[in-house]
Structure 1
């Protein structure tokens, strides 16, 4: 740390750190970029990392996971917030008339796989977890009752009362099939809407567009459920109103029907018959309003928050697991370890090979995208990033760091190679002081093939 502070290029190093936004694990790049005049071949501008501190350029890692890099995840969260909110009240290329389109906030949950410790409240008072006077004793000798009033940070929340009775296979398989369940739910919802409008399914797109944005959230017990904004538009998306019959009152029963109707089947394996999995019985459907308890800001904030999370609340890992590694090397709670072990085992079963459970064991079987949107819901994350990059480029031209030229008349030649990522321990201390970020997390420099 002292050596870094006393180097002549410290100010430039600190400038790079600030430009990464305090990224915890910045990517190190080595290379150059040159701008040539297409007509004359004259060199207009050159940038090279040879003169940079350590001979590299540090750029943000751009991960969405808050557990890996809070700074980059905050950028992703903010972009997701703007994207979701634009689909509710307009902006970012979406007309403001979209706020009059029927819109619901829907939560689809997972079924039960066994009794788990839970925090229950009634009228603001915490209730006993699972108080039963005549509680049964399970085959493993455990009384299926818990009279404790759990605190919000109790590590036992979500863990089964009897781990040996808990259906770990079912939990992992549900996570793996959850993306398929969502696809079938959306297809069933379109069929139900077509029926409500007296239309053939093939003609629905000429009258109505089903737009949605959803996010997956892990419950403490280790299964995912989905929160979704579901909106009805006209045939051209948010720029046209839906037909008169397509109201929130028509959308609600269609959602209820689709949630009950769909299922996904896990193949038979290990002498176990095939298994049919469905959504849980808990289905929450609420209208989104411009004022009240469930506003567009509350919904956008809720979805954006979970877009940066994974299965951390269960106590699992945020990186893929090598099947050859022993789980004893990781600091895992028993429930998370058994879920991962189950996923690794099921991943070796030939009948379940297409679920790729070994590859997604750290996600407890879930292999879908956490945050997804239909094509016409709103703007896109790519458009938001492009606008931010253009703003940064305009600023560099204004400040004289880049020359002003017509892009069609310039040939750009660039060469880049990966040179590592992250910070040394000494650099990490300085980064925390410069940006006000936490020291929690990886501090080791991972050298690349040329680092």
Structure 2
């Protein structure tokens, strides 16, 4: 039997010509081309409180953005996160928006970079003081996009265990740093440490970035406020120079020790790397990110740090989603170095054999110790108990190369919050609807009920079209931004 020949079908053309395409495209444009939208079914309406008349309504299917901050997963939602990060950081730097007064621009502020220590020599691009490129330790000259950059020169001698454990404790190391910084400031001001909160407040926004060697370093904007935060004047003794000296002293004094885990019988001690970059931020009347004297302008630094916020969440050289098995690591499209980091994290987070029902090691089919007991209360007959590093949840964070913190975090009084920015958008849309209807919020009732039905686009064609919409939206936004800028 010979089957009839079927001509090639242009599935993309067929989707564009389908009856529901315009409606679908409008919904995707409303979420800026999200690649993994949440499909909701339900009802939204605005009704008059007195008469019950429905003034405006929407029902059926709608799409909501996935909200993923990784550019590799969803460029559209990553762009929105970048915009929110910009406004959050910009408000704390220059004030005049989001409830932050403009006076913050006159306060002592620093842009600080804290790095990780070395766990073994890696390939890199080195330069002399005159700007001339020097050979790498391997003797070669690397191009800036050379895939060898960041990879260990001697993989067998690289300390992957300390790398993973330092990464897992980097959040605690930052917390200890802020505590030490407050103590240094109190001592420099001549006041008791316990009374520091009565005189001043340390405000900051911190962004984590993955270096190419697979380890985190932190960029932070640090500001010295009065005791009530941004609305309060900095005490007279608080200067930029004093804050910078305190940062350097706190950097040198900060450490975290793991007493429950040892390497060669010695408790593991973690510190920052030797490199620390401390730069003052001047008032917002400049046109350059960095001046000849090393100072940085407000407007450009907000863009700079916001870029790192999405760079860190968008690309980590690791995995976009949690790892479920050790075998999954081998299937990832990444370097052998990053795979070894993940293998080490996975192995360190593994459970250990129960010592009560398996005193001689792992379970054996013939003559195992667990056969002599009916029930083991220690492992509930599971054969394994949590390992010594179970509290670090290393397996849960293997896809993040054992980094367990947030990519962008801030102190309470630094500026606004992501939640507040989202609420502001919702209020703005609601007020637009009220203005269109010519009513006030007190005179209407809002009904909003939606149930999730699915996640993602329904076909490859829809995903490709959504990606094109996202790219076009990004290009239009970039053009508009460059056109509107006057500096």
Q: So what's the TM-score if we normalise by structure 2?
A: 0.80
Q: So what's the TM-score if we normalise by structure 1?
A: 0.86
Which of 225, 232, 235 is residue 240 of structure 1 equivalent to? Answer: 232
State the distance in 1 between where 2:53 and 2:313 align.
53
Deviations 1:120-171 (A, max 9, x none): 12333322111xxxxxxxxxxxxxxx11111111111110001010000011
3-state SS in 1 of match to 2:150: coil
1:268 lines up with 2:261 in the alignment = yes
Deviations 1:268-294 (A, max 9, x none): 258654200101111111111233522
State the distance in 1 between where 2:469 and 2:448 align.
34
Q: Gaps (5+ residues) in structure 2?
A: 1-11, 352-386, 474-487
Change (3 A) 1:251 1:381: same
1:78 lines up with 2:90 in the alignment = no
| 1:31 match | 42
| 2:104 match | 98
State the distance in 2 between where 1:261 and 1:270 align.
22
1:288 lines up with 2:281 in the alignment = yes
Q: Which moved more, 1:333-342 or 1:268-277?
A: 268-277
1:383 lines up with 2:420 in the alignment = yes
State the distance in 1 between where 2:89 and 2:41 align.
37
Change (3 A) 1:354 1:125: same
3-state SS in 2 of match to 1:351: coil
1:148 lines up with 2:140 in the alignment = yes
Q: Which moved more, 1:419-428 or 1:197-206?
A: 419-428
Change (3 A) 1:392 1:43: closer
Tell me how far 1:389 sits from its aligned partner. 2.1
Tell me how far 1:2 sits from its aligned partner. 3.0
Q: Given that residues 72 and 315 in structure 2 are in contact (C-alpha distance below 8 angstroms), is that contact kept between their aligned partners in structure 1?
A: no
Change (3 A) 1:45 1:105: same
| 2:120 match | 114
| 2:33 match | 22
Q: Given that residues 310 and 318 in structure 1 are in contact (C-alpha distance below 8 angstroms), is that contact kept between their aligned partners in structure 2?
A: no
Tell me how far 1:415 sits from its aligned partner. 3.4
3-state SS in 1 of match to 2:81: helix
Q: Residues 304-319 of structure 1 correspond to what in structure 2 (within 5 A)?
A: 304-310=306-312, 315-319=317-321
Deviations 1:361-408 (A, max 9, x none): 0111101011011111112222222222222233344455xx845357
Change (3 A) 1:148 1:253: same
State the distance in 1 between where 2:310 and 2:331 align.
26
Q: Given that residues 282 and 298 in structure 2 are in contact (C-alpha distance below 8 angstroms), is that contact kept between their aligned partners in structure 1?
A: yes
State the distance in 2 between where 1:226 and 1:415 align.
39
State the distance in 2 between where 1:405 and 1:87 align.
33
Deviations 1:42-67 (A, max 9, x none): 55544211xxxxxx311211222112
Q: Given that residues 431 and 437 in structure 1 are in contact (C-alpha distance below 8 angstroms), is that contact kept between their aligned partners in structure 2?
A: no
**RMSD of aligned C-alpha atoms?**
2.2
Q: Given that residues 37 and 64 in structure 2 are in contact (C-alpha distance below 8 angstroms), is that contact kept between their aligned partners in structure 1?
A: yes
Q: Residues 86-235 of structure 1 correspond to what in structure 2 (within 5 A)?
A: 86-92=91-97, 93-122=99-128, 123-130=130-137, 146-235=138-227
Q: Which moved more, 1:146-155 or 1:338-347?
A: 146-155
Change (3 A) 1:433 1:252: closer
3-state SS in 2 of match to 1:229: strand
State the distance in 1 between where 2:41 and 2:334 align.
37
State the distance in 2 between where 1:9 and 1:115 align.
58
Aligned residues: 415
Change (3 A) 1:221 1:434: closer
Q: Given that residues 76 and 470 in structure 2 are in contact (C-alpha distance below 8 angstroms), is that contact kept between their aligned partners in structure 1?
A: no
| 1:448 match | none
State the distance in 2 between where 1:265 and 1:353 align.
17
Q: Which structure's CA Rg is the greater one?
A: 2
State the distance in 2 between where 1:158 and 1:413 align.
50
Q: Given that residues 32 and 416 in structure 1 are in contact (C-alpha distance below 8 angstroms), is that contact kept between their aligned partners in structure 2?
A: no
State the distance in 2 between where 1:313 and 1:380 align.
23
Deviations 1:58-92 (A, max 9, x none): 12112221121112111111221122122121121
Q: Residues 413-432 of structure 1 correspond to what in structure 2 (within 5 A)?
A: 413-422=448-457, 424-432=459-467
| 2:17 match | 6
